[in-house]
Structure 1
Amino acid sequence: MPDLIVEGLSVEFNGQTAVDDVTFTVNDGEFFTLLGPSGCGKTTTLSTIAGLETPTKGIIRVGPEIFVDAAKHRFLTPEERNLGMVFQSYALWPHMTVEDNLAMPLKIRKASKAEQNRRIGDALNQVGLLPYRKRYPHELSGGQQQRVALARALVYSPSVLLLDEPLSNLDAKLRDRARAWLKELQQSVGITTIYVTHDQLEALSLSDRLAVMGEGKMLQVGTPNEIYDHPNCLAVADFIGRCSFFRAKVLETGAGTLVVDLVDGEGTLRVTSATAFAAGTHVTIGVRSELVKVSQPRDDVPAISVNAIPADLKKASYVGARYEFELMAAGQLIFAEGEHKLDEQQVWLIVPEDGLFVFAEDIPPSRLASDVEDGL
């Protein structure tokens, strides 16, 4: 099918902007994810594509077929768009069997009985539930109900599949299995899919490309590697993965390298940066927790060492395969990881020259030492 294109989409509710001038393209056969925190506008965007919400501005089209053109007051109903949607709650009719649930969208489209039987059988076979067609939803597990909802969305061969956090009701282990199965299903069917989630792991593992949203805006669109390794703004770096930040001032700038001085504490960092900043510029340095090395005690590393920062251990959590640490350094809350438990409270943080992010933005208020100490 042609690409799905969203242009300048805005949605308002009672004068409040929920989606603000959002533009993106989903390529044919692509698994595209809208990712962001609660209230960022991702579900509203998906609902507008589905025809469940009416936009204030913008155009939604698949190839030459226009679903919505707000300026021209064109609006196709959900039935006219031929899109399949799976809701977070699955929305199965409890008084109907599995096959009756799948038959409903086919009856609406006036498919013959023979056509219904064929399509229901094919859809249930795709999701591995053919022997369950006579069961009722309450006789199925949560994972099986989720697959029934997917089969119902696929049974009438929609042009695009829309998924609104369909795995959120599953337990952790089942969610892992469902994630792998869902990706295999999408690839085997070859259907264009738009997926909504606030779960970073789901977004990174499932998506061909993803869009990070915040406060109704599209912050960055890219592949999982691009988003994780090269966030284009502090908000994206802060949301994706576990990132720590330092306030700094540029001391020296060279060919692809900056030397910065930490504003709120001791330490000098050498940073690889494709962007040049003039000496004296205030910047924020970001570093992923898995890249931070903790050395104990402090006398193990010379105090004058570049990229070594004195820190105080505040919390250590054993999470099975590793320890996760929360530390205070240069006036900021810093996250780190390690294979071994820390016995000293006063340690050194060693951060790499490569892999650091440099932003011409101020550090998030939630990272300030005063807020952390107050428990905010």
Structure 2
Amino acid sequence: MSAPKKVVLAYSGGLDTSIILKWLQTEYGCEVVTFTADLGQGEELDPARKKAELLGIKPENIYIEDIREEFVRDFVFPMFRANAQYEGLYLLGTSIARPLISKRLVEIAKATGADAVAHGATGKGNDQVRFELAAYALNPDIKVIAPWREWDLTSRTRLLEFAEANQIPIAKDKRGEAPFSVDANLLHTSSEGKVLEDPADMAPDYVYQRTVHPEDAPDQPEFIEIGFERGDAVSINGEAMSPATILTKLNEYGGKHGIGRLDLVEGRFVGMKSRGIYETPGGTVLLEAHRGIESITMDRGAMHLKDQLMPQYAEIIYNGFWYSPEREMLQAAIDKSQEHVTGTVRVKLYKGLASTVGRWSDHSLYSEEHVTFEDDAGAYDQKDAAGFIQLNALRLKLLAARDKRLAK
């Protein structure tokens, strides 16, 4: 790959990406543009601007953007229409953020005339795959630079030596070994590595940042009502809200009641197993409510087919193929299934659990007249079930008869 002339760097303002910024300048002698995304990670982003300026980046080459609404509306909500969970548990909080970051990197590269983008993901994880697959899908001619796969700064000591040699400020808490690595956005917090690397050891309480311990959660349950339209949450307790506002509010409810903690050993796309501690308070409440409204508005056949498609859809996102024809094909089917997923769900929040306790909709398929234990006034003739059972039993009876005959 020829040396890039201008690079757009996914820049957090932290020590690692600041080292990457300076390394790009010294290694390639190229101009650097920084992009810092506000995805709801809960950190002040103005220091990233000051740090970039300190490292010689021109003000016009510093991009800091609040993309929380786009993140939830165009990425999180479409994924939640599918009830997507990787390996049956993980709500894909990190996975779903990467295609949006890559999208903006490529768009900024086009706007600034840059010929390359760069990220700070390591060569062991999934994020390198997600960033780069998304970038190439959006611009097949873009160069992608992954410093962790190229440089010789292979230890914390060498990183700090490089930082000191290049006058990069080092916070006091960065001098020692970090206890674990954190990735955060509006959907979740992910903690991995160091103190968490042995899956036999219970994670220390200080790892959890968004949720109280369920044992310390309020002793009284709280009930909230979430309104849906075509599979997307649109209101809480009757108050209409934007997508990002809804998820923010659900995070507050879920965190208060200790909901959404997950200790998972997962199979990375690159082949190894890794242990992560995830907190997805609002997402866990949202998933429960979404399944609750689907239960009365979706046809059995459509719902069961969607549940069969879900693991494949989740794996596609986890592996970084958001911008792929197979994800778009599945998304079209999932979105079709949500046409009548409209109504309201009442959820009970208590001691780490979110439970659907009520649901209603003008689009409901539930018929009390048909299922009642009382007189149904002729809505359902129970004698019809006899023929239904006999027809479904026919092949089983033929199999049993054959086996009985052969056993003689």
Question: Which band: TM-score by shorter chain?
Answer: under 0.3
Compare relative contact order (CA 8 Å, sep 6+) and give the higher one, 1 or 2: 2
Query: Whose strand fraction is larger, Structure 1's or Structure 2's?
Result: 1
The normalised TM-score by structure 1 is 0.27
The normalised TM-score by structure 2 is 0.26
